[in-house]
Amino acid sequence: MTVPGTAREFRDAIRAGRLTAVDACTRALERIGRTDPALHAFQTVSADRALARAAAIDRGRAGLDRLPLAGVPIAIKDNICINGVTTTAGSRILEHFVPPYDATVVGRLEQAGAVIVGKTVCDEFAMGSSTENSAFGPTKNPWDPDRIPGGSSGGSAAAVAARMTPVALGSDTGGSIRQPAALCGVVGLKPTWGRVSRYGLIAFASSLDQIGPFATTVEDAALVLQAIAGPDPCDATAAAHGVPDYVTALPNEPAKALRGRKIGIPRRLLESGVDADVRAAFDAAVSQLEDLGATLVDVDLPHSRHAIAVYYLIATAEASSNLARYDGVRYGLRAPLGPDDDLISMYERTRAAGFGAEVKRRIMLGTYVLSAGYYDAYYLKGQQVRTLIRRDFDRAFESVDVVAVPTSPTTAFRFGERTEDPLQMYLADVFTVSAPLAGLPAISVPCGFGAGRLPVGLQLTGRPFDETTILGIAHAYERTAGWWKEEPPDLKVGPT
Amino acid sequence: MSFTRADVERVAALARLALTDEEKDLFAHQLAHILQYADEVRGIDTSGVAPTAQALADAPQQRDDEPVPSLPRDRVIESAPEGAAGLFKVPRVLG
C-alpha cells in the first residue's frame, strides 16, 4: 500500500483498517525523531500522550466513520494551551508553564479524532517573522537549513513541510500562518476574525489574533478548519455565523471553480518592493488562474501601503496590555528577590528576566502609543486608518471575489539577516498585515519557486466568513499547478 | 522623531520593565526609527473617520448566565511561583 501523505489519506487508511492510529502516530514520532534534530520544529514532543490517544481511537474502531480526522497526527503551535502539556509561547517567562485546561481548538481536534504529537517552536508570544525570537532557539527551513522558516508559526510550517505531521495549527496576527507557509512551501489559512475560538490561545493582539491550519493540500486545510470553526461559550468573539461544509464545497473540476470568477490584483501596491523571482512566480500563478477562466481585475487598495505602520501601532498597543498579566504572581517566572524587593520591583525584575528583546521592544512601543499625549496621534490615528484599509477592501469586493498578492515579498532569508534592524523584519509582513486589520480570511498556497529553489506563496484574500471561496480557488489552482507534490530535498538526518 | 533616554525611562516605568543601560540606549535608537516610520500615518486625512477597534460588526456572543464549574483551585495555585493556603503570595506591597 502507498504510505499516506495527507491528513485525508491517513484518515481514509485508518478508517479502512489498512493502518492503525497507533501505527500512524508511531510513524509521525519516528519521522520527528529522525528529522527534527536538524530542524528544531518541535518545542515539545508528547509521545506518551499521543500514543495513548491513538490507542483509544483504535479501541473505538466502530465510531471511526464519525471522526473526520480519525487518527490524523497533528502538531500544535506552542502558544496554544494543552491541559498538562508544557506551553511556553516561546518565552522564558512561561518556560515551565503547564496549563490546567485545554484550548477550545485542542478539544475540538481531539473530538474529531486527531492525535496531537507535540508543540511547535514559535517566536516569543508570536512576535516575529522568522522564529529567531524564540527563547529556545529558532526552527530551520526544510528547503535550506541556513534560512529562516518564516514566523511566527515557523515550527508548524516546517513540521508540515518536512512531512513530520500532515497538518498543524498555528496562529496569525499579522501573517504568522501565511508567511511561514509561503516560505516553507505549504498551505496556510488564516480564517476570518471570529471564525475560530481563541479560548486557550495565549493572547498577543486580541483584535487581530486568529488560529488556523497548516497543511500540504488545501483539502486538508479545509478538513482542519471544519473541525475547529464555530461559536464557543468560552470566547465571546467567536461568531455565531453558520459553519458551511468547507470540504464538500471544494470544486471537483478546476475550470468550473474559476469560470466567471473575478480576481483582484492591486497592481500599484505591487509596483515596488517585490523581489523579481517572487514576482515571476506570482505572475505565472495569476495567468494560470486566468487560463482556467478567471478574469483579472485591477483593484486599488490605496491605504494598504500604510498597513505596516498601522499594524505595528495597534498590535503593540494591544500586546502591551495583554502582556501586563506576566507579573510573577499567578503563573510563570518570578525573578529571584532580595530582602529589599517590594511588589513593584518584583514585577519589574520578573519582566526584565522573562521577556526577550523583541517582546520588550513591542511592550515599550505599545505602552508609548497608548500613553497620555500620544494616544490620539498614534493609537487613535492607527485605528482610523485601519477603517480606511477595511473600506478599501469593501470597495474592492464590490467588483471582485478575491484579492491576490504574493504572500511574502521575498523568499526565505538567512538567519541573522534582519535581526539587527527591527523595522526591516517588520517589512517582511507587508502583504500579510492587511487581512487581519480588515478581519478578512486569507490563504497562502504554494505557487512555485524562486532563486535557489526556495518556495513562493500565492495569497488569496476573501470576504468575511467566505473561506469557501478562497479555499475553492486555492484548491483549483493547486490541483492544476501541482506544486503541492514538491517535497524539500532529503535532509541530512541521522540513521533510521 | 526623537526618542530620548528619558522617554525610554518614563515608558519602561509605565510598563513595569527594568531595563539595563544598554537596553535603554538600544531602545531609544530603535523606537525612534520605528516611530519615524509610523509617522507616515499622521499625515493621512482621517477627519470624520470612525476608529476600528475590532474588524467585524458582529456583536460579541453572550452565553446564558448560568454557573459552571471553574478550574480546580489547587491546580491553579500550583502554577504560581509562590502559593500558600489556596492563595497567591506576593512580596510586601506597603513599606
Query: What Rg value do the Cα atoms of chain A yield, rounded?
Result: 21
Rounded CA-CA distance B24/A74 in Å is: 42
Crossing angle of the two packed helices A307-322 and A381-396, in degrees rounded to 10: 130
Q: Which residues on A lie below 8 Å from B90 (Cβ)? A: 329, 343, 346
Rounded CA-CA distance A142/A36 in Å is: 10
* C-alpha of A447 from chain center: 18
Report CA dihedral (A469, A471, A474, A479) to the nearest 10 degrees.
-120
Q: Which three cell numbers stand for residue A98?
A: 503547564
Rounded CA-CA distance A293/B61 in Å is: 40
Rounded CA-CA distance A214/A293 in Å is: 28
Which of B9, B16, B22, B76 to probe by mutation at the A interface, max A CB count within 10 Å? B16
How is A174-215 classified by DSSP, letter by letter?
A: SSTTHHHHHHHTSEEEEPPTTSB--TTBPPS-TTT-EEEEEE
- Which residue shows C-alpha cell 528544531? A40
Percent of the residues in chain A that have a pLDDT greater than 70, as a whole number: 98
Q: Nearest CA of chain B to the CA of A116: how many Å?
A: 23
Q: Which three cell numbers stand for residue A94?
A: 512561561
- Residues 36 through 55 of chain B touching chain A, CB cutoff 8 Å: 37-38, 40-42, 44, 46, 49-55
Q: Which residues on B lie below 8 Å from A385 (Cβ)? A: 41, 44, 46
Predicted model pTM: 0.97
Q: For A376-385, A428-437, A487-496, B31-40, which range has the lowest pLDDT when averaged over its residues?
A: A487-496
- Residues 58 through 77 of chain B touching chain A, CB cutoff 8 Å: 58, 60-63, 71-72, 75-76
Select from B16, B42, B78 the Cβ nearest to the Cβ of A377: B42
Residue A347: enclosing H or E segment and its boundaries? helix A343-354
Q: Which three cell numbers stand for residue B58?
A: 458582529
Rounded CA-CA distance A102/A252 in Å is: 36
- pLDDT category at A10 given cuts 50, 70, 90 is very high
Residue of chain A whose Cα is closest to the Cα of B51: A384
Cβ–Cβ < 8 Å for A41, A159: yes
Percent of the residues in chain A that have a pLDDT greater than 90, as a whole number: 94
Which of B2, B17, B44 to probe by mutation at the A interface, max A CB count within 10 Å? B17
* Chain A interface includes B85 (CB < 8 A): no
Select from B15, B53, B71 the Cβ nearest to the Cβ of A363: B15
Rounded CA-CA distance A331/A348 in Å is: 15
Rounded CA-CA distance B38/A378 in Å is: 8
Phi, psi of A104 (to 5 degrees): -55, -40
Catalytic residue numbers of A? Answer: 77, 152, 176
Select from B15, B61, B82 the Cβ nearest to the Cβ of A231: B61
Q: Which three cell numbers stand for residue A270?
A: 505591487
Over residues A238-260, mean pLDDT: 93
Interface contact flag, B60 A236, Cβ < 8 Å: yes
- What pLDDT is stored for residue B1 in this prediction? 64
- pLDDT category at A491 given cuts 50, 70, 90 is low
- pLDDT category at A267 given cuts 50, 70, 90 is very high
Residue A162, C-beta contacts closer than 8 angstroms, at least 6 positions apart = A31, A35, A39, A41, A142, A488, A491
Q: Which residues on B lie below 8 Å from A348 (Cβ)? A: 16-18
Rounded CA-CA distance A379/A381 in Å is: 5
Cis omega before residue A444 (within 30°)?
no
Which of A83, A325, A365 to probe by mutation at the B interface, max B CB count within 10 Å? A365
Interface contact flag, B79 A334, Cβ < 8 Å: no
- What pLDDT is stored for residue A67 in this prediction? 97
Q: What is the pLDDT of residues A390-439, one digit of tens each?
A: 999 999 999 999 999 999 999 999 999 999 898 888 988 999 999 999 99
3-state secondary structure (DSSP) of residue A168: strand
Cβ–Cβ < 8 Å for A241, A467: no
Q: What is the pLDDT of residues B48-90, one digit of tens each?
A: 999 999 887 777 888 889 999 999 999 999 999 999 889 999 9
Q: What is the pLDDT of residues A281-296, one digit of tens each?
A: 999 999 999 999 999 9
Average pLDDT in chain A: 96
Q: What is the pLDDT of residues A61-88, one digit of tens each?
A: 889 999 999 999 999 999 999 999 999 9
* Residue A318 reports pLDDT greater than 80: yes
Contacts 24+ apart (CB under 8 A), B90-94: B90/A329, B90/A343, B90/A346, B91/A337, B91/A341, B91/A342, B91/A343, B91/A345, B91/A346, B92/A342, B92/A343, B93/A342, B93/A343
Select from B18, B41, B44 the Cβ nearest to the Cβ of A348: B18
Q: Which residues on A lie below 8 Å from B92 (Cβ)? A: 342-343
* Residue A496 reports pLDDT greater than 50: no
Residue of chain B whose Cα is closest to the Cα of A333: B81
